Amino acid sequence: MNKAYAFAVNGQSGEIVIRLSATVAGKLSYIKSVTIYTGEPSTTAKTNYHNHTYRCRHAGSYTDREYIEAAISNGYTAIGFSDHVMLPYITYENSVRGIYWESTEYYNTIRALQNEYQGKIDILLGWESEWALGGLFEDYYRYLVDNNLVDYLILGNHWQIFDTSSNRFIAPLEDEAHELENVQNYVAGAIEALDTGLFTIMAHPEIFFVKGYGNVQNFTPVMKDLVRAMCEKAKEKGVALELNQGYIDNMETLERYTEFWKIVKEVGNTVVIGVDAHYPGAYNESVRNRVISFANKIGLTLTMDLGITRKTPKNVPLFRLEGQYEPTDANYVAIAKENLTWGSIRGLNASENAVTLPLALPSSFRDCTVTWSSDQPEVISNAEP
C-alpha cells in the first residue's frame, strides 16, 4: 500500500504519504489509526520515555513515585515507564528483568499512578523490549500493542540470540575477530524488529560499542554501511532514535560515537533524549545539557515530544505461551523448595520438611508464609533469621 493524501489546514497545505507493507508470510498488516499533528514541533516540552523501576532487579529499591517526583522537580511534562520487558520465557529469578508473572502488578500500579498524577505530569506505560533474531517475541509484543496493554514499546536490543532450551540470552563473543559479526547480528535484529511497526523508539542504537553488548572498538566502513541501512529503516518506519544520557562520557570522548551520530544526521532520523533512569537522580539537568550540546555539535535536531498518548487497555488475560499457566500456590511450593533459603533450612534438619500454604517464594509480589517441622526443633529455634 502506498497512498498520498493532500491536506489544507489554516492556510497550510501539503501531502501526507502513508506506506504500508507486509513482509511476514501468513500475517496481515493493517492501519489501526493515523494521527496527524500540525504546527511546529514543541521546543519547550521535556519528556523522558526511558525510565526503569526496582522490578528489573538492578535499579535499587526506589519507588515509582520517587521517579515521578524527580521528573516533576526537573520540569518534565511527561515520563514514560519502560522497564526491561518481562518475557513469558523468563519465570525464574534473575538480575536483568522481573519474573513474567509480576507484569500484571506493573501494569496496574503504573495505570493507577497515571490517574493520580493527571494534570501534574503525563505518565506513560511501556517496556524496553528485547528482540531475538528470528522474531521469537513478536507475537507477544503484538498482543501487548493490539490490546493496548502498553502505550508504546521501546526497542532496546542488548543481546541478539535467545536460547529456548535454557530460556536465556547468549552474550556475544567480544574480540576483534567478532566485531563485524556482532554489528551484523545487531543490525539484522534491529531491522527485523523495526519492520514489524511495533516500536516507537529505538534505545541506545549504538550499544554494540559497549562492553557486554559487542564491545566494538573499530567502526569500519562496512559497519558504517550496515548502520546506515538500520537508520534508513528506522526513518522509513517512523521510529525515533535515542540519544542516551548514560552514554554522554563516551559521546564526548570516543570518536566512533561521533561517527555513528553523523550517520544519523545524514539520514535525517527523528532523535529524542532518553534518560534511561535507573535511579531518580538520573534526572540531572547538567547531564541533559551536555547531551544537547553533543547533539548541537553533530547538527542533530532533537524532538522533545513524540506525541505518545495513553491507551485504554482491553480486558484480556496475560499473554501465555502454549500450555503455560500462572503458578498456583502448589507451584510456588515447588519453586520455594529450590530456593536458597529453603535449601539452608533443609540442610539444618534431618527430617523431611513440611510446607504450609500459601507460599510465594522467591517472588516478591505476593505475601507468603513459610512453616516447617523437624524432629530437631532446637536447630530451628537456634537458627539465625
pLDDT of residue 323: 81
Same domain, 255 and 363: no
Of 276, 145, 263, which is closest to residue 200 (Cα–Cα)? 145
Query: What does the block give as the cell for 259?
Result: 561517527
> 58 and 202, same structural domain?
yes
Query: 116 and 178 share a domain?
Result: yes
Q: State the pLDDT at residue 183.
A: 97
- Between CA 72 and CA 219 the distance in angstroms is 39
Residues 256 and 337 placed together within one structural domain of the fold: no
Asked if the structure places residue 294 within a domain, the reply is yes
Q: Name the residue range of residue 378's domain.
A: 329-382
pLDDT of residue 16: 54
Same domain, 254 and 359: no
Last residue of a domain, one of 249, 283, 298: 298
- Is 71 within the bounds of a domain? yes
Alpha helical stretches, state H, the chain: 64-73, 103-116, 138-146, 179-195, 221-237, 248-253, 255-267, 285-298, 329-336, 340-347, 377-382
Residues 215 and 338 placed together within one structural domain of the fold:
no
In a domain, 88, yes or no: yes
Query: Residues 260, 342: one domain?
Result: no
Same domain, 291 and 368: no
For position 358, what pLDDT does the model report?
38
Domain with residue 232: its CATH number is 3.20.20.140
275, 298, 321: which is the final residue of a domain? 298
Q: Based on the fold, state whether residues 258 and 377 are members of the same structural domain.
A: no
Looking at residue 337, what is its pLDDT? 55
276 and 337 together in one domain: no
Q: Within a domain: residue 29? A: no
**Whether 212 and 356 share a structural domain:** no
- Amino acid at site 267: V
Contact between 83 and 52 under an 8 Å Cβ cutoff? The reply is yes
Domain assignment present for 311: no
Q: What is the DSSP code (8-state) at residue 36?
A: -
Indicate whether 31 belongs to any domain.
no
Question: How confident is the model over 330-341, as pLDDT tens digits?
Answer: 555 555 555 545
Q: Are residues 333 and 287 in the same domain?
A: no
143 domain-assigned: yes
**Domain for residue 17, yes or no?**
no
Report pLDDT for 14.
Answer: 57
80 CB-contact burial (10 Å; exposed 0-12 / middle 13-18 / buried 19+): buried
- Alpha-helical (H) ranges within 8-155 are 64-73, 103-116, 138-146
> Domain boundary at 298, 317, 337, which?
298
Amino acid identity at 79: I
The predicted pLDDT at position 383 comes to 41
Burial tier of 158 (Cβ tally within 10 Å: 0-12, 13-18, 19+): buried
Work out how many domains the chain is built from and give that number.
Answer: 2
Residues in the chain with pLDDT < 70? 1-44, 327-385
Q: Between the CA of residue 291 and those of 228, 275, 280, 297, what are the distances in Å?
A: 22, 10, 18, 10
Amino acid at 309: T
User: In this predicted structure, what is the pLDDT of residue 324?
Assistant: 81
